[in-house]
Amino acid sequence: MKVRTRLTLLFTFLTATILFGFATVIYFSAKDTREEEFYILLEKEAVTKANLFLNAKVDTTTLQDIYRNNREILNEVEVAIFNADFDLSYHDAVDIDFVKESPEMLERISEEGLLRFYQQEWQVVGLKYWYEGKPYLLTAAALDHYGYSKLKDQLHTSIVVFILSVVLIYFFGRYFSRKAFEPVKEMTAKAKRISATNLDLRINSPGKDELSELANTFDEMLTRLENSFDAQRHFVSNISHELRTPLSAIIAELELSTNKERSIQEYKETIKNALGDSEKLVRLSNSLLDLAKASYDPSEIAFKNVRVDEILIDARQDVKRRNSDFKMNVFFESEFECDHQISVLGNEYLLKVAFSNLIENGCKFSADRKIDVFMDFDQSSIVIKFADKGIGIAEEDIARIFTPFFRGRNKQFADGNGIGLSLTHKIINLHKGTIAVNSTGATGTVFTVTLPHR
Ligand code: ADP
């Protein structure tokens, strides 16, 4: 069931319940009022007749005639008057005698002074009346035709009004819920038009209400998705570019050498160049593989307690194996007393890749091919600084150096593919650490990596 229909039905049900409660209270209060008012009327009639009979000495036949005549047109009250000995002194119509007063009933009237009860639908009152110091017992009974029919009318009107109101409320509810959900319908229609090929479309809701907030959040999510789609597209085109360049170079070299007879020296040169380009390709594919590993869900990567100094030494060895002229010195800024102080919960392989990248960058962008690594720790984390005295990074480049395939304007100084730092950044993030860079052309570059112990 649609939310709109559910809301309409709920609204109708709630209002109908309130209306029903309201009408019920009014009906029962009218019922009580009618009953009370009619008892009072009966009491007044009984007293009036007793006055006429006892005080004004109107004779029995005249009073009975009045009663019989009135009975034809009105709901005349049937009154009986008994003396203290329970003997009947007067009765409007002995032949009708609706109440059938028993001695027990008269006894109760005498004791209680006032008695009210129903006999079928007729209301009856019995009361004690004093005249010239003597008690009389009066009974008065009548059927409240007028009151009952008024009450019945009121009930019928209430039922009709209730049904009409519920129907009206339902249709108004439908109308208003349709109005309230119109923006949602619009948003759905707009959202349906958005697909992978037109991610630039937005819902653009100008209001300030909750729905506009939802639409804006959705738009923001689309912006993020669009950016990540764009990044993905760039990534793929960058990879193909990076792959094509060395491959084209290898093909060109080999084609050139097969065009005509060459000297041994020239062949050696060609093979050396082809080897160099192939190594670039291997490095690129290794970096891409590592990038894929670092992009895994952290729960899929094996983490264990590892000593950062040992990983640093391993990384240095790796770098040295590839570039024998690179030099690295490690300095411990604080003396460590236990393994825990220089350990983190991490993935040994990925951390080694990250450190190798930083060491290699520091050496390759420095004329002296040298980098100094400073290690320090505190209660919560380990801080490793990779400081070189190289050519530094241009200020405009600093914000982008962690973007995949980005190479700074100093790229002529050293070979590379622009993946190293983005991979390092990913790995450090995966270890819940941070990486910051500080660079000036004059004093070189310092990368500061902070890794939490756990
Ligand atoms: P690559 O080294 O393959 O070019 P990276 O992702 O490792 O790619 O680095 C991105 C860019 O950041 C480099 O091209 C370079 O411009 C700059 N960079 C990184 N480390 C240093 C450094 N230690 N000194 C100077 N520039 C650096």
Q: Reply yes or no on whether the pLDDT at 134 is more than 80.
A: yes
How far, in Å, is the centroid of ligand 1 from the Cα of 367?
Answer: 14
Q: Are strands 370-377 and 327-332 parallel, antiparallel or unpaired?
A: parallel
- Record the tokens describing residue 68, joined without a space: 């019989």
Dist. CA 201–CA 225, nearest whole Å: 12
- Which residue puts its alpha carbon closest to atom 17 of ligand 1? 408
pLDDT grade for 251, boundaries at 50, 70 and 90: very high
Task: Tell me which of 363, 403, 409, 421 to substitute to probe ligand 1's pocket, judged by most ligand atoms within 8 Å of the beta carbon.
Answer: 421
Q: Reply yes or no on whether the pLDDT at 297 is more than 80.
A: no
| Residue 129 host element (H or E) | strand 122-131
Q: Reply yes or no on whether the pLDDT at 306 is more than 80.
A: yes
Q: What is the mean pLDDT of residues 164-179?
A: 93
What radius of gyration do the chain's Cα atoms show?
52
Dist. CA 307–CA 303, nearest whole Å: 12
- Which residue puts its alpha carbon closest to atom 14 of ligand 1? 407
Task: Tell me which of 365, 406, 426, 443 to substitute to probe ligand 1's pocket, judged by most ligand atoms within 8 Å of the beta carbon.
Answer: 365
pLDDT grade for 231, boundaries at 50, 70 and 90: confident
pLDDT grade for 311, boundaries at 50, 70 and 90: very high
The single-letter code of the amino acid at 14 is L
Tell me what percent of the residues of the chain surpass a pLDDT of 90. Answer: 65
How far from the centroid of its chain's Cα atoms is residue 382's Cα? 40
- Which residue puts its alpha carbon closest to atom 8 of ligand 1? 418
Q: Ligand 1 site: residues with CB under 6 angstroms?
A: 357, 361-362, 365, 388, 390-393, 397, 401, 406-408, 410-411, 416-422, 445
Task: Tell me which of 281, 366, 389, 401 to substitute to probe ligand 1's pocket, judged by most ligand atoms within 8 Å of the beta carbon.
Answer: 401
Task: Tell me which of 407, 446, 447, 449 to substitute to probe ligand 1's pocket, judged by most ligand atoms within 8 Å of the beta carbon.
Answer: 407
How far, in Å, is the centroid of ligand 1 from the Cα of 361?
Answer: 6
pLDDT grade for 99, boundaries at 50, 70 and 90: confident
Residue 301 backbone phi and psi in degrees, to 5? -100, 135
Q: What is the mean pLDDT of residues 314-335?
A: 93
- Contact yes or no for 423/354 (Cβ under 8 A): yes
Q: Residue 423 CA: which ligand 1 atom is closest?
A: 6
Which residue's structure tokens are 């983005």? 422
Q: Residue 410 CA: which ligand 1 atom is closest?
A: 16
Helix axis angle for 348-364 and 308-322, nearest 10°, is 50
Q: Residue 357 CA: which ligand 1 atom is closest?
A: 7
Q: Residue 406 CA: which ligand 1 atom is closest?
A: 10
Q: Mean pLDDT, the chain, as a whole number?
A: 91
Dist. CA 122–CA 141, nearest whole Å: 7
Higher pLDDT, 417 or 361: 361
pLDDT tens, residue by residue, 49-86: 999 999 999 999 999 998 888 877 667 899 999 998 99
* Side-by-side strand order, sheet with 122-131: 88-91, 78-82, 134-142, 122-131, 114-119
pLDDT tens, residue by residue, 394-442: 999 999 999 989 999 999 999 898 999 999 999 999 999 999 999 987 7
